[in-house]
Structure 1
């Protein structure tokens, strides 16, 4: 099953974890869409700067610190993902509660570790 993934907080900078996550997801044959502040391409994936109504998102993997997430709460819920991954430094109890209330699974984990251990 292809777990179509939205990388929220994507960066064009190659030294950012979100950039590396896009590369690793693509390398592992996952379908990837991405949202960030600057448009561009990483591993063939276009980073959108507009919140698009993506369909059939399985996983949202967060690369935004908690103070920047608030503007995206409604958007994340509207996508109806199967799960949200809070990468290190993105853990947010307020968003945990919102996801729980909407029956959306979430986990505090590292996308890169999950991929490297075949647990994604």
Structure 2
């Protein structure tokens, strides 16, 4: 099964990253929540991005970090070697998209919630 890493994961039900985790859990899809704030989301511990956890066999990284907060994590996210990075609305970042493409990573400017809802994920 495809594994997705949620960068910017949150245990706050009002955040889109939380809603994405909920949709992955409902669909029994494998996801790994990674964020600045720790906590639990749908039975999974939110791993601290500050510790740069090693995660293997990733299909997709879905971003919920604004572009101003992304540069610090470029190298880490690239090191995860995902097949694609989804830049959710408000996370679009030409510089990071270009860097990802240079590293052979496909980039999508799309909404993970819409992709999941419409079966396009």
Corresponding residue for residue 5 of structure 2: 6
Q: How far is 1:57 from its partner? A: 0.8
Question: Residue in 2 aligned with 1:104?
Answer: 105
Q: Distance in 2 between matches of 1:26 and 1:45?
A: 10
Counterpart Cα distance in 1 of 2:42 and 2:91? 24
Aligned match of 2:116: 115
4+ aligned runs moved over 6 Å, structure 1 = none
The alignment's TM-score, normalised by the length of structure 2, stands at: 0.95
Could you say which residue in structure 2 is the equivalent of 1:65? Answer: 66
Unaligned runs of 5+ in 1: none
Unaligned runs of 5+ in 2: none
Instruction: Tell me how far 1:35 sits from its aligned partner.
Output: 1.0
The corresponding residue for 1:32 is 31
- C-alpha RMSD of matched pairs (Å): 0.8
CA displacement 1:65-117 (0-9 Å, x = unmatched): 00100011001111110100000000000001101111100100000000000
Structure 1 position 30, deviation (Å)? 1.1
| 1:42-82 residue CA offsets vs partner (Å, 9 max, x unmatched) | 11121011320100011000000001000110011111101
Instruction: Give the Cα separation in 2 of the matches to 1:89 and 1:48.
Output: 23
In structure 2, C-alpha distance between the alignment counterparts of 1:63 and 1:85, rounded to whole Å: 9
After TM superposition, the score normalised by the length of structure 1 is 0.96
